[in-house]
Amino acid sequence: MIVLLIANFMNLIDVTIVNVALPSMRAGLGASDSQIEWVVAAFVLAFALGLLPFGRLGDIVGRTQMFLWGAVAFTAASALCGFSGSIEMLIAARVLQGLAGAMMAPQVLAIATVTFPPEERGQAFSLFGLSAGLAAVCGPILGGVLIDAQLFGLDWEPIFLVNVPIGLIAIVAGWLVIPRVPGHREIRNDYVGIGLFGTGIVAIVYGIVEGEPLGWPLWIWALIGAGLVLIGMFYLWQRHRAQRNEPQLLNYSLLRNRDYMFGAFVVTIYASGIPGMFLVISLLLQSGFGFTPLESGLTNTPFSVGVLLASFIAARFGSHYLRARVAVAGAMLAGGILWLHFIIDNAGATIDSWSFLPPLLIAGVGLGTGFSSLFQLVLRNVPPRDAGAGSGALQAFQQVGGAVGVAVVGQLFFTQLASNFAAGAAPNAAFADAAALALWYQVASFVVVLLLAFRFRPSKPQEHGGPAPVVVEA
């Protein structure tokens, strides 16, 4: 269990630790606006696209073997990130890191499920939730400490290199103690489906991120259109595979399930709001107002604390009042971020980090309240035979939403920032105005979640005492 938790923690902390390092990377590597977006989006997108195929591949070759391969690849990719001498090399290494994380993540819960007996499984899953919460809290602080320490004369590089010794411990210990469960060689992966879905999503996200820097040429719009066509072809291919009774990347029965697809749409919107927000806040505080990375990380910490607190509170509700909890989560997130918008919009020459504490804490509690409730709400009408595939696909939709959110928020922020500098604005005023504009995307996203929460089908018995809640790694 300790080995699985170490690997899980290493994977999850990498999502949050990078945010506080973005301004240092931007300055140290001379990155453009779109390139700094790709440092975040490349990892999230690669992780999203790898979850389903690597989850199935783990079933084929053996979950422990796939987990160990993922740990080796993640450790190597982290070293490659730390030794990157250019922004292009760093982005490529982040793609590899995201794919390696997707190799590990599906196996972690699967190994725990088949290794621990039913009476121990609940406690095991609760420890995964705790490690996810701790990773969210520790990431911004640890990132700030490592950058400010300037270890061996390095700047942002240690946030990646710290994974190397941890990864080596996980690899050796995993090889020695994790039971070997044989794979099912007769299972086949849907490689055409992987290609269609992956190429389509990458084309759409690439078009959104690179459109503004390139002046939105015709070929960018054609690329986005081609991505949408490929997603349509993916749907048709999954239907074709289902008619021939062949394995599908995303079960066609789920694609035909209107409740599930509506829920997946809400999950995508919900997940799109947060990654881009912290990209904006980190750049605002450090580049606009001169915060150190550690000060920036500490300023962001109340959000992570709110997520951790909410995870404990949400566990006590089980499967009760799911629609109401999602609506409350949307309201808290929209309200907290709107409050933050007005703080930033009214900032002068300086900004008080303590003023960020209440709105970020409220928003963090909202996020922690909503994720598990939303996943349970979406999956409650999914037939038992599709429960595993449905849960894995929702996590993929969650990550795709994060990548799209980074792309859209980045476009709003960097376009407005360039306009402000062109008009001769001071750095603090330019960054504050651009950040305040970009935060409207988060407010709008979570208002939509609030409005859609009660569009789910009315409560069924599960909402008032049904099966145990689904464990979700947010």
Residue 322 has pLDDT above 90, yes or no: no
Q: Which two tokens stand for residue 237?
A: 């291919």
Exposed/middle/buried for 184, CB within 10 Å: 0-12, 13-18, 19+?
A: exposed
Whether pLDDT at 328 is above 90: yes
pLDDT in tens, 53-90: 888 788 788 888 999 999 999 999 999 999 998 999 99
∠ CA 235-236-242, rounded to 5°:
90
User: Domain residue spans in the chain?
Assistant: 1-187, 190-248, 268-474
> What integer pLDDT is reported at residue 359 of this predicted model?
96
Bigger pLDDT: 449 vs 388: 449
Percentage of the chain exceeding pLDDT 70: 93
Looking at per-residue pLDDT, the higher value among 460 and 12 belongs to 12
Q: pLDDT-based confidence at 388, cuts 50/70/90?
A: low
Report, as an integer, the average pLDDT of 404-409.
87
Lookup result for tokens 């008032």: 464
CATH 1.20.1250.20 fits 268-474, yes or no: yes
Q: What pLDDT, on the 0 to 100 scale, is given for residue 385?
A: 62
Task: Check if the beta carbon of residue 251 is closer than 8 Å to that of residue 386.
Answer: yes
Q: List the structure tokens of 300.
A: 């962001």
Note the pLDDT of residue 311.
74
**What's residue 377's pLDDT?**
84
pLDDT at 458 over 70: no
| CA distance linking residue 270 with residue 252, whole number of Å | 24
52-91: burial string, b at 16+ Cβ within 10 Å, e else: bbbbbbbbbebbbbbbbbbbbbbbbbbbbbbebeebeebb
Identify which of 384-398, 401-415, 453-467 has the greatest average pLDDT: 401-415
Instruction: Please give the pLDDT value at position 126.
Output: 64
4-7 long-range contacts, CB within 8 A, separation 24+ = 4/108, 4/111, 4/112, 4/128, 4/178, 5/127, 5/128, 5/131, 6/166, 6/169, 6/170, 6/173, 7/67, 7/70, 7/71, 7/74, 7/104, 7/108, 7/167, 7/170, 7/174
- Is the pLDDT assigned to residue 260 strictly greater than 60? yes
| Rounded mean pLDDT, 132-138 | 75
Of 314, 295, 325, nearest to 140 by C-alpha is 295
Q: Are residues 136 and 308 in contact, defined by beta-carbon separation less than 8 angstroms?
A: yes
Domain 268-474 in the same topology as domain 1-187:
yes
Mean pLDDT of the chain: 85
Q: How far is CA 8 from CA 65, 103, 248, 366, in A?
A: 16, 11, 27, 23
Please, which residues have CB within 8 angstroms of residue 176's CB and are 6 or more apart in sequence? none
Q: At 377, list the tokens.
A: 């709400």
Rounded to two decimals, what is the model's pTM? 0.83
Class of domain 1-187 (CATH, top level)? mainly alpha
Is the pLDDT confidence value at 473 over 80? no
pLDDT tens digits, one per residue of 156-165: 999 999 999 9
Which of residues 271 and 315 earns the better pLDDT score? 271
The arithmetic mean of pLDDT across residues 461-470, rounded, is 43
